[in-house]
Structure 1
Amino acid sequence: MSLDQALRHQIAFYENKLEYETDSWDLYIALQEGTDIVIVDARSAEAYATEHIPGAISFPHRTITAETAAALNRDRLYVTYCDGIGCNASTKSAVKLARLGFRVKELLGGLDWWKRDGYATEGKEARDGTRVACGCAG
Protein backbone atom coordinates (compact mmCIF):
# COMPACT_ATOMS: atom_id res chain seq x y z
CA MET A 1 0.00 0.00 0.00
CA SER A 2 1.36 3.38 -0.96
CA LEU A 3 1.68 6.24 1.51
CA ASP A 4 -1.14 8.07 -0.29
CA GLN A 5 -3.45 5.04 0.04
CA ALA A 6 -2.52 4.61 3.69
CA LEU A 7 -3.34 8.25 4.40
CA ARG A 8 -6.71 7.94 2.65
CA HIS A 9 -7.54 4.87 4.75
CA GLN A 10 -6.51 6.70 7.90
CA ILE A 11 -8.66 9.73 7.08
CA ALA A 12 -11.64 7.49 6.29
CA PHE A 13 -11.19 5.72 9.64
CA TYR A 14 -11.31 8.97 11.61
CA GLU A 15 -14.21 10.36 9.57
CA ASN A 16 -16.16 7.16 10.28
CA LYS A 17 -15.49 7.50 14.01
CA LEU A 18 -16.93 11.01 14.00
CA GLU A 19 -19.95 9.77 12.05
CA TYR A 20 -20.86 7.29 14.81
CA GLU A 21 -19.48 8.80 18.03
CA THR A 22 -19.84 12.10 19.85
CA ASP A 23 -18.50 13.54 23.07
CA SER A 24 -20.22 15.49 25.81
CA TRP A 25 -18.94 18.86 24.56
CA ASP A 26 -20.29 18.31 21.04
CA LEU A 27 -23.59 16.96 22.37
CA TYR A 28 -24.01 19.94 24.71
CA ILE A 29 -23.29 22.42 21.91
CA ALA A 30 -25.66 20.60 19.53
CA LEU A 31 -28.42 20.77 22.14
CA GLN A 32 -27.76 24.47 22.76
CA GLU A 33 -28.01 25.08 19.01
CA GLY A 34 -31.36 23.27 18.85
CA THR A 35 -30.16 20.29 16.82
CA ASP A 36 -32.92 17.68 16.57
CA ILE A 37 -31.42 14.96 18.79
CA VAL A 38 -33.03 12.35 21.00
CA ILE A 39 -30.78 11.37 23.90
CA VAL A 40 -31.32 7.74 24.87
CA ASP A 41 -30.38 6.52 28.34
CA ALA A 42 -29.70 2.85 27.72
CA ARG A 43 -29.39 1.93 31.40
CA SER A 44 -32.10 0.52 33.66
CA ALA A 45 -35.15 2.60 34.54
CA GLU A 46 -33.87 2.71 38.13
CA ALA A 47 -30.50 4.15 37.08
CA TYR A 48 -32.31 6.71 34.89
CA ALA A 49 -34.53 7.77 37.82
CA THR A 50 -31.45 8.28 39.98
CA GLU A 51 -29.60 10.53 37.54
CA HIS A 52 -29.62 11.19 33.82
CA ILE A 53 -28.70 13.73 31.15
CA PRO A 54 -31.36 16.46 30.93
CA GLY A 55 -33.97 15.73 28.31
CA ALA A 56 -32.92 12.10 27.88
CA ILE A 57 -35.50 9.39 27.46
CA SER A 58 -35.25 6.13 29.37
CA PHE A 59 -35.02 3.26 26.89
CA PRO A 60 -33.07 0.40 28.48
CA HIS A 61 -31.16 -1.61 25.89
CA ARG A 62 -32.80 -4.86 27.03
CA THR A 63 -36.23 -3.48 26.08
CA ILE A 64 -35.42 -2.30 22.55
CA THR A 65 -37.38 -4.21 19.92
CA ALA A 66 -39.16 -3.32 16.70
CA GLU A 67 -42.38 -3.07 18.73
CA THR A 68 -41.01 -0.82 21.51
CA ALA A 69 -39.24 1.43 19.00
CA ALA A 70 -42.22 1.71 16.64
CA ALA A 71 -43.27 5.14 17.95
CA LEU A 72 -39.81 6.67 17.45
CA ASN A 73 -39.24 9.06 14.56
CA ARG A 74 -36.69 7.66 12.07
CA ASP A 75 -35.88 11.18 10.82
CA ARG A 76 -34.19 12.15 14.08
CA LEU A 77 -30.67 11.46 15.32
CA TYR A 78 -30.44 9.28 18.43
CA VAL A 79 -27.50 9.56 20.81
CA THR A 80 -27.17 6.62 23.17
CA TYR A 81 -25.35 6.63 26.48
CA CYS A 82 -24.82 4.53 29.60
CA ASP A 83 -22.66 4.89 32.72
CA GLY A 84 -19.35 5.24 30.92
CA ILE A 85 -16.40 3.33 29.59
CA GLY A 86 -16.98 0.39 31.93
CA CYS A 87 -20.47 -0.19 30.52
CA ASN A 88 -21.56 -1.24 27.03
CA ALA A 89 -25.31 -0.60 27.23
CA SER A 90 -24.92 2.40 24.92
CA THR A 91 -23.21 0.23 22.31
CA LYS A 92 -25.91 -2.44 22.61
CA SER A 93 -28.61 0.22 22.17
CA ALA A 94 -26.82 1.79 19.22
CA VAL A 95 -26.59 -1.58 17.47
CA LYS A 96 -30.25 -2.40 18.10
CA LEU A 97 -31.49 1.01 16.96
CA ALA A 98 -29.27 0.99 13.86
CA ARG A 99 -30.56 -2.48 12.93
CA LEU A 100 -34.08 -1.05 13.18
CA GLY A 101 -33.21 1.72 10.73
CA PHE A 102 -32.38 4.66 13.03
CA ARG A 103 -29.46 7.07 12.72
CA VAL A 104 -27.41 6.66 15.89
CA LYS A 105 -24.32 8.02 17.57
CA GLU A 106 -22.80 6.80 20.81
CA LEU A 107 -21.81 9.25 23.54
CA LEU A 108 -18.17 8.66 24.46
CA GLY A 109 -17.69 8.28 28.20
CA GLY A 110 -21.43 8.24 28.89
CA LEU A 111 -22.91 9.86 31.97
CA ASP A 112 -19.53 9.75 33.73
CA TRP A 113 -17.82 12.01 31.20
CA TRP A 114 -20.91 14.19 30.89
CA LYS A 115 -20.59 14.94 34.63
CA ARG A 116 -16.77 15.22 34.48
CA ASP A 117 -17.20 17.92 31.84
CA GLY A 118 -19.38 19.82 34.30
CA TYR A 119 -22.83 19.48 32.78
CA ALA A 120 -25.99 19.34 34.88
CA THR A 121 -28.04 16.20 35.41
CA GLU A 122 -31.66 15.43 36.31
CA GLY A 123 -33.15 12.82 38.63
CA LYS A 124 -33.19 11.96 42.35
CA GLU A 125 -29.45 12.65 42.60
CA ALA A 126 -29.39 15.52 40.09
CA ARG A 127 -26.58 18.02 40.26
CA ASP A 128 -26.08 21.51 38.96
CA GLY A 129 -23.67 22.01 36.16
CA THR A 130 -20.30 23.66 36.57
CA ARG A 131 -19.45 23.69 32.90
CA VAL A 132 -15.78 23.47 32.05
CA ALA A 133 -14.53 24.76 28.69
CA CYS A 134 -13.43 21.97 26.42
CA GLY A 135 -9.68 21.91 26.04
CA CYS A 136 -10.02 20.69 22.47
CA ALA A 137 -12.40 23.41 21.29
CA GLY A 138 -9.73 25.82 20.15
Structure 2
Amino acid sequence: MTKTQISAALRVPPAAPADAAAFFAARLAFQADVSDVHASLESGDPGFVLVDSRGDAAWTQGHVPGAVHLPTADIPARAATLLDPTVPVITYCWGPGCDGATRAALALARLGYQVKEMIGGIEYWTREGLPVADANGDLRRAPVDPLTAPIGSPHCAC
Protein backbone atom coordinates (compact mmCIF):
# COMPACT_ATOMS: atom_id res chain seq x y z
CA MET A 1 0.00 0.00 0.00
CA THR A 2 1.37 3.42 -0.90
CA LYS A 3 1.14 6.51 1.25
CA THR A 4 -1.66 7.83 -0.97
CA GLN A 5 -3.77 4.72 -0.41
CA ILE A 6 -5.74 4.63 2.82
CA SER A 7 -6.57 1.44 4.61
CA ALA A 8 -10.26 0.59 4.34
CA ALA A 9 -10.33 0.20 8.10
CA LEU A 10 -8.84 3.67 8.60
CA ARG A 11 -10.90 5.69 6.09
CA VAL A 12 -12.43 7.19 9.19
CA PRO A 13 -9.45 7.71 11.48
CA PRO A 14 -9.46 6.45 15.07
CA ALA A 15 -10.79 8.79 17.72
CA ALA A 16 -8.48 10.74 19.97
CA PRO A 17 -7.29 8.59 22.89
CA ALA A 18 -9.36 10.50 25.47
CA ASP A 19 -12.50 10.17 23.33
CA ALA A 20 -11.82 6.47 22.79
CA ALA A 21 -11.33 5.93 26.53
CA ALA A 22 -14.65 7.63 27.29
CA PHE A 23 -16.45 5.60 24.63
CA PHE A 24 -15.07 2.23 25.74
CA ALA A 25 -15.68 3.01 29.43
CA ALA A 26 -19.27 3.85 28.55
CA ARG A 27 -19.70 0.58 26.63
CA LEU A 28 -18.58 -1.36 29.69
CA ALA A 29 -21.08 0.58 31.81
CA PHE A 30 -23.89 -0.50 29.48
CA GLN A 31 -22.87 -4.06 28.56
CA ALA A 32 -21.60 -7.29 30.12
CA ASP A 33 -20.47 -10.37 28.22
CA VAL A 34 -21.79 -13.89 28.76
CA SER A 35 -18.56 -15.11 30.34
CA ASP A 36 -18.66 -12.41 33.02
CA VAL A 37 -22.38 -12.92 33.63
CA HIS A 38 -21.82 -16.67 34.01
CA ALA A 39 -18.89 -16.20 36.41
CA SER A 40 -20.96 -13.78 38.48
CA LEU A 41 -23.93 -16.15 38.64
CA GLU A 42 -21.64 -19.04 39.60
CA SER A 43 -20.25 -16.98 42.50
CA GLY A 44 -23.59 -17.30 44.28
CA ASP A 45 -23.81 -13.54 44.84
CA PRO A 46 -23.85 -11.90 41.42
CA GLY A 47 -25.12 -8.53 42.59
CA PHE A 48 -27.72 -8.34 39.82
CA VAL A 49 -30.86 -10.01 38.50
CA LEU A 50 -30.64 -11.54 35.02
CA VAL A 51 -33.77 -10.93 32.94
CA ASP A 52 -34.72 -12.96 29.88
CA SER A 53 -36.78 -10.58 27.78
CA ARG A 54 -37.95 -13.14 25.18
CA GLY A 55 -41.48 -14.45 24.80
CA ASP A 56 -43.01 -17.55 26.39
CA ALA A 57 -42.13 -20.01 23.59
CA ALA A 58 -38.47 -18.96 23.65
CA TRP A 59 -38.29 -19.18 27.45
CA THR A 60 -39.80 -22.68 27.38
CA GLN A 61 -37.38 -23.75 24.67
CA GLY A 62 -34.41 -22.84 26.87
CA HIS A 63 -33.11 -20.09 29.13
CA VAL A 64 -30.23 -19.20 31.41
CA PRO A 65 -30.69 -20.99 34.76
CA GLY A 66 -31.65 -18.51 37.46
CA ALA A 67 -32.90 -15.87 35.03
CA VAL A 68 -36.20 -14.12 35.60
CA HIS A 69 -38.63 -14.32 32.68
CA LEU A 70 -39.94 -10.86 31.89
CA PRO A 71 -40.84 -10.32 28.22
CA THR A 72 -40.18 -6.79 27.04
CA ALA A 73 -43.87 -6.08 26.40
CA ASP A 74 -44.65 -6.99 30.04
CA ILE A 75 -42.01 -4.77 31.65
CA PRO A 76 -44.23 -1.73 32.34
CA ALA A 77 -46.90 -3.84 34.05
CA ARG A 78 -44.76 -6.49 35.80
CA ALA A 79 -41.29 -5.12 36.56
CA ALA A 80 -42.25 -3.71 39.95
CA THR A 81 -43.66 -7.07 41.08
CA LEU A 82 -40.61 -9.08 39.95
CA LEU A 83 -37.62 -6.78 40.43
CA ASP A 84 -36.16 -4.89 43.36
CA PRO A 85 -35.42 -1.34 42.18
CA THR A 86 -32.24 -1.28 44.29
CA VAL A 87 -30.71 -4.30 42.53
CA PRO A 88 -29.10 -3.83 39.10
CA VAL A 89 -30.59 -5.76 36.19
CA ILE A 90 -28.88 -7.38 33.22
CA THR A 91 -31.10 -8.17 30.24
CA TYR A 92 -30.68 -10.69 27.46
CA CYS A 93 -32.59 -11.82 24.38
CA TRP A 94 -31.71 -14.04 21.37
CA GLY A 95 -28.34 -12.76 20.22
CA PRO A 96 -26.34 -10.11 18.41
CA GLY A 97 -28.84 -9.98 15.55
CA CYS A 98 -31.66 -9.09 17.92
CA ASP A 99 -32.16 -5.83 19.77
CA GLY A 100 -34.71 -7.24 22.21
CA ALA A 101 -32.34 -6.98 25.17
CA THR A 102 -31.65 -3.36 24.25
CA ARG A 103 -35.38 -2.59 24.13
CA ALA A 104 -35.86 -4.33 27.50
CA ALA A 105 -32.94 -2.42 29.01
CA LEU A 106 -34.39 0.84 27.74
CA ALA A 107 -37.81 0.05 29.21
CA LEU A 108 -36.25 -0.81 32.57
CA ALA A 109 -34.03 2.28 32.59
CA ARG A 110 -37.09 4.43 31.90
CA LEU A 111 -38.65 2.88 35.00
CA GLY A 112 -35.62 3.85 37.09
CA TYR A 113 -33.68 0.56 37.17
CA GLN A 114 -29.91 0.39 36.84
CA VAL A 115 -29.49 -1.87 33.84
CA LYS A 116 -26.94 -3.43 31.51
CA GLU A 117 -27.32 -5.66 28.49
CA MET A 118 -25.70 -9.10 28.16
CA ILE A 119 -24.08 -8.93 24.74
CA GLY A 120 -24.35 -12.07 22.68
CA GLY A 121 -27.64 -13.13 24.28
CA ILE A 122 -28.70 -16.74 24.67
CA GLU A 123 -26.98 -17.51 21.36
CA TYR A 124 -23.49 -16.84 22.67
CA TRP A 125 -24.37 -18.26 26.08
CA THR A 126 -25.19 -21.52 24.31
CA ARG A 127 -22.28 -21.33 21.87
CA GLU A 128 -19.88 -21.00 24.80
CA GLY A 129 -21.24 -24.28 26.17
CA LEU A 130 -22.89 -22.73 29.24
CA PRO A 131 -25.89 -24.45 30.85
CA VAL A 132 -29.39 -23.89 29.52
CA ALA A 133 -32.54 -24.84 31.44
CA ASP A 134 -35.64 -26.10 29.68
CA ALA A 135 -39.28 -25.74 30.73
CA ASN A 136 -38.85 -28.50 33.33
CA GLY A 137 -35.72 -26.94 34.77
CA ASP A 138 -33.56 -29.72 33.31
CA LEU A 139 -30.10 -28.51 32.28
CA ARG A 140 -28.28 -29.21 29.06
CA ARG A 141 -25.09 -27.92 27.49
CA ALA A 142 -24.17 -27.60 23.85
CA PRO A 143 -20.59 -28.31 22.85
CA VAL A 144 -18.35 -25.24 22.93
CA ASP A 145 -18.08 -23.54 19.56
CA PRO A 146 -14.30 -23.14 19.14
CA LEU A 147 -14.87 -19.97 17.13
CA THR A 148 -16.52 -18.23 20.06
CA ALA A 149 -14.83 -19.60 23.19
CA PRO A 150 -11.80 -21.64 24.18
CA ILE A 151 -12.54 -25.33 24.69
CA GLY A 152 -11.95 -26.44 28.28
CA SER A 153 -11.68 -22.93 29.73
CA PRO A 154 -14.41 -20.92 31.46
CA HIS A 155 -13.23 -17.67 29.87
CA CYS A 156 -11.07 -16.29 27.08
CA ALA A 157 -8.43 -14.83 29.44
CA CYS A 158 -8.83 -11.43 27.85
TM interval, shorter chain, is 0.7 to 0.9
Q: Equivalent of 2:40, from 27, 30, 45?
A: 30
**Structure 1 gap segments, 5+ residues each:** none
Mapped partners of 1:129, 1:83: distance in 2: 16
Q: Which structure is richer in relative contact order (CA contacts within 8 A, separation 6 or more)?
A: 1
C-alpha deviations, 1:26-85, integer Å up to 9, x for none? 1011112222221111100121011000001110001111x4222221111111001101
Which residue matches 2:19?
9
SS of 1:53's equivalent in the other structure is: coil
The 8 Å contact of residues 70 and 78 in structure 2, kept in 1 or not, is answered as no
The 8 Å contact of residues 95 and 123 in structure 2, kept in 1 or not, is answered as yes
Q: Equivalent of 1:113, from 117, 124, 127?
A: 124
Q: Equivalent of 2:73, from 59, 62, 85?
A: 62
Larger radius of gyration: 2
Inter-CA distance 77–103: structure 2 relative to 1 (3 Å threshold) = same
Q: Percent identity between the aligned chains?
A: 33
Structural RMSD (CA)? 1.9
Paired AA for residue 24 in structure 1: V
**Structure 2 gap segments, 5+ residues each:** 1-14, 145-150
The 8 Å contact of residues 50 and 126 in structure 1, kept in 2 or not, is answered as no
**How many Å apart are 1:6 and its aligned residue?**
2.1
SS of 1:97's equivalent in the other structure is: helix
Mapped partners of 2:75, 2:22: distance in 1: 30
Paired AA for residue 110 in structure 1: G
